[in-house]
Structure 1
Amino acid sequence: MLALCGIGAELLAAYGDNTGDPGGIAFALVFFGALYGAPALLARDLARRASGGWPAMLLLFAALGVAEACLIDQALFATDYQGYEGWEETREATFVPGLGLSAYNAYNFIAGHIIFSFGAPVALAEAWRPDKATEPWLGPFGTVAAILAYGAAAALIISDPESQSADTTQLAVSALVVAALVATAIAVGRRAGRRGLPTRTRRHLPVRVTFIVALGPAIAAGLAEETWAGFAVGVAAIVLAGLAVLCAAGRYDWTVRHVAAVALAFLVVRGSLAFTYFPLLGDVAAGPKYLHNTVMLTIVLLAGWAALRSRRP
């Protein structure tokens, strides 16, 4: 799951100059495993210990996404970040002067982290072992190791002058948003723990149907352009997907495999769209680029197969 977090967050999209570079990919798997995988494990364990389930988990993932985009690499406030092609144009297209950020970037970064950096890899990993899906995975040693790994990776990024774009007010507000999301997640967990689990019998929903339906909002979100209209389409697609999941979970026999099917749909769309553009940084030849895309999408498909394959009850 640590590797899958790094793949979902960065390597699957193939927009960096490490695309097609075996050494760069190997380093990225370790580094991004620490930056994304370690906090994903910590947030998942906190939500599972609090009996909060996915509502609490998603709130914690949102807190991690805000922390990453606003406090760690501070990309949301950068006017020109790491030399990425088209950065300034994208930022200006939906710039909000009072906040000092791009509305589209806020949606793209934070929603992207929630789904691809944390949520989707966790969903697939839980479906690999359904019997352990609602249990914490980390003991004391694992928890300390994850905290240290996350802290070290975050510190390396924060120390980079390119990641110091936010002013004091922006940092303070971002920290308050992170704290509010964490507090809300804990409150949701406590409420869910008191309420208990539903016991009524529900109708069966084929996992493949869940995957196919989820492809719709995943494609809409993935194709949303970097404009105000694209921002509206992207947000609407994510909200629609969330409402559909809530509706299906209330009406059908919703399992970890259904959650994994939704996650896989978003990952497959992300990996497929990566074939349609070249990296935004560096000069990557076509051969290594398309081989990279194929390998990363194959890893996602194998992870999805392992999550969705039929098992005896």
Structure 2
Amino acid sequence: MTKSGDAPLEPVAALWVRRAVVLLFVNLVVSAAFAVLTVAFATNVVDYQLAAGSAKTAEELRISLWIRAAMVLVIAAFYWFIARRMLRGRRGAYVRVRTLSLAGLVAVSYLLATAAYPLWLRGVQVIQWLVLLALVIVTNLRPVRAAFPRPPKAPREKGSGKAAWSLVLLTPLIAEFSLGTVPVRMLYLVLLYIPIYGAGTLLIRELARRVGGGWPTIAVLGLCYGLLEEGLALQSLTSPHLYGAAEWGPRWLGINTTYTELNLPYHVVFSVIVPIALVELIFRRNGRQPYLRRGGMVLAGFVTFLGAVLLRLAVPLSEDPGYQMSLAAILTVLALIVVAGIVALRILPRHRFAVPAAARVPAPAVAGLIAGTASLAFLALLFPIGDARQPAFAHGNWVLIPMVVAAVIAIGVARQLARWSASPEWTERHRLIVVGAALVGHSIFGLITRAKTLPDQLVMAAVIAVTALVIVKLARRDTVQPAAVPDGLPAD
């Protein structure tokens, strides 16, 4: 049989795999029972945890109980899917079961060791611990491991590792440092951003390129990233206190609208698209080929999750203590991430976009000037300048004007870039100059508005100069031949 296909497993292996599947569903039943009990007796559980010295509020503890119950429903559907694939001999499903069982065993062991739940609930946890232990043992037996042999490693293009690490390290520098949000005296904070920014953008790039997606896929996954960081980790999209975002503009349905309009597109462009485009232009030899193998992707996903947790613990708990999104808001953000992820990975790669009428392509310098000016204008319209609590012009009856103008600029420039890139006159040099100019424009905004001390101003000026020099050097390296694959929406 072909172990990686859908052929039936060998008799002995099939017996043990069926036992593993049974244990998988027994664990699910026990998990569901535990979740139902915690919700049904939420008051008792919350009182116990508060008496045990929990730093969370009663409302935060209740929300965590409901989230756990909701996650059980999601996992139930996932278990059914993964069990079917494992019975068909799919190694990917086997690896997931093996990993999840070990992670679950560690998690339950931690909960038992810390006595996080009342004694009567710990009895259920002991049963779950035993089931998970049995599942770990069964999935690591020799007949089971032999039924899912490790495939030969796929060859990687030379330079893939350097490209991946460049993306990991460049992303937080582009998204945070080059905007001036990190003062020189606090430069160490960039290390805090590497896990979520670097690993997150690398994961997005790998997912998009593996499914054959182009820039629309990357852009929508960038939206997922923004919702993860701003919506769940920082909870800044709804917080009435963090960064003073509630004072930037209208606050509708509990959402900081101006802050949201600024930061979600910002993450799409400067946390995801620009770093990926720049690294792919630097490492042109690797093209759109994946930089990582499957294990590297799993690691990138794990580090991204840890980065979100680290950001949650490092920022809101100190700068926005006591605020917790409502359960409805959390579930809404999670649903948006899931839906957007499905659209990005399952629908967009298969969709053929209508090619707009190709516009006459200007010189690279002109295209860059337009991109850089648009970048600077978008930030200036939505970002508070200096010590102001609101963006420019966002006062009184004029509060919606900068939001509308910023949206028009963003949509108009995106549409124009799509039309230009549909033309055979569009080259790699155009793409490079546009990306570089957008970077310079957003750093000029940082120099003008964010750098408040002389050292910060000197550093920001150096960042602008270095960015411009690097772009010029790369442009001289590039030819003026049309790009092998146009980079606008129509080509994707």
Give the aligned partner of residue 296 of structure 1.
Answer: 463
Q: What do the CA deviations read for 1:103-128 (whole angstroms, capped 9, x no partner)?
A: 21111110111111111111111111
Q: CA deviation at 1:102?
A: 1.9
Q: Does 1:191 align with 2:350?
A: yes
> Aligned equivalents of 1:305 and 1:237: distance in 2?
26
> Aligned equivalents of 2:445 and 2:171: distance in 1?
18
Which one-letter code corresponds to 1:210 in the other structure? Answer: A
1:134 aligned residue (274, 279, 288): 288
Give the SS at the match of 1:254.
coil
Q: Does 1:15 align with 2:181?
A: yes
Give the aligned partner of residue 150 of structure 1.
Answer: 304
Q: How do residues 206-221 of structure 1 correspond to structure 2 at under 5 angstroms?
A: 206-221=363-378
1:172 aligned residue (316, 324, 331): 331
> Aligned equivalents of 1:202 and 1:272: distance in 2?
29
Q: Does 1:89 align with 2:236?
A: no
> Aligned equivalents of 1:35 and 1:295: distance in 2?
26
Q: TM-score, normalised by structure 1?
A: 0.83
Q: Does 1:35 align with 2:207?
A: no
Give the SS at the match of 2:291.
coil
> Aligned equivalents of 2:306 and 2:212: distance in 1?
29
> Aligned equivalents of 1:306 and 1:171: distance in 2?
45
Q: Aligned residues: percent identity?
A: 21
Unaligned runs of at least 5 residues, structure 1: none
> Aligned equivalents of 1:153 and 1:136: distance in 2?
22
Distance 1:68 1:216, change over 3 A: same
Q: Does 1:75 align with 2:225?
A: no
**8 Å CA contact 1:202, 1:253 repeated in 2:** no
> Aligned equivalents of 1:202 and 1:234: distance in 2?
23
**8 Å CA contact 1:123, 1:256 repeated in 2:** no
2:424 aligned residue (239, 249, 252): 252
Which one-letter code corresponds to 1:123 in the other structure? Answer: A
Of the two structures, which has the highest relative contact order with CA contacts closer than 8 Å and spacing of 6 or more?
Answer: 1
* Residues 293-302 or 148-157, more deviating: 293-302
> Aligned equivalents of 1:101 and 1:307: distance in 2?
41
Q: What do the CA deviations read for 1:223-271 (whole angstroms, capped 9, x no partner)?
A: 2143321111111111011101111121234344433332222211111
Distance 1:71 1:302, change over 3 A: farther
Distance 1:204 1:239, change over 3 A: closer
2:435 aligned residue (263, 288, 305): 263
Q: Does 1:309 align with 2:476?
A: yes
> Aligned equivalents of 1:299 and 1:40: distance in 2?
23
Give the SS at the match of 1:77.
coil
Distance 1:52 1:36, change over 3 A: same
CA RMSD of aligned residues (A): 2.7
Distance 1:58 1:202, change over 3 A: same
* Residues 142-151 or 169-178, more deviating: 142-151
Unaligned runs of at least 5 residues, structure 2: 1-166, 383-390, 395-399, 482-492
Q: What do the CA deviations read for 1:168-225 (whole angstroms, capped 9, x no partner)?
A: 1111111111111111112344315xx69x9xx9987643332123233223212214
Give the SS at the match of 1:137.
coil
Q: What do the CA deviations read for 1:54-104 (whole angstroms, capped 9, x no partner)?
A: 1111111111111111111111111111xx4x54421xx2211x2x11221
Give the SS at the match of 2:422.
helix
Structure 1 segments of 4 or more deviating over 6 A? 201-204
**8 Å CA contact 1:66, 1:110 repeated in 2:** yes
Distance 1:31 1:141, change over 3 A: farther
Q: CA deviation at 1:294?
A: 2.2
**8 Å CA contact 2:375, 2:441 repeated in 1:** yes
Instruction: Determine which structure has more spread, i.e. the larger CA radius of gyration.
Output: 2
Distance 1:77 1:133, change over 3 A: same
Give the SS at the match of 1:15.
coil
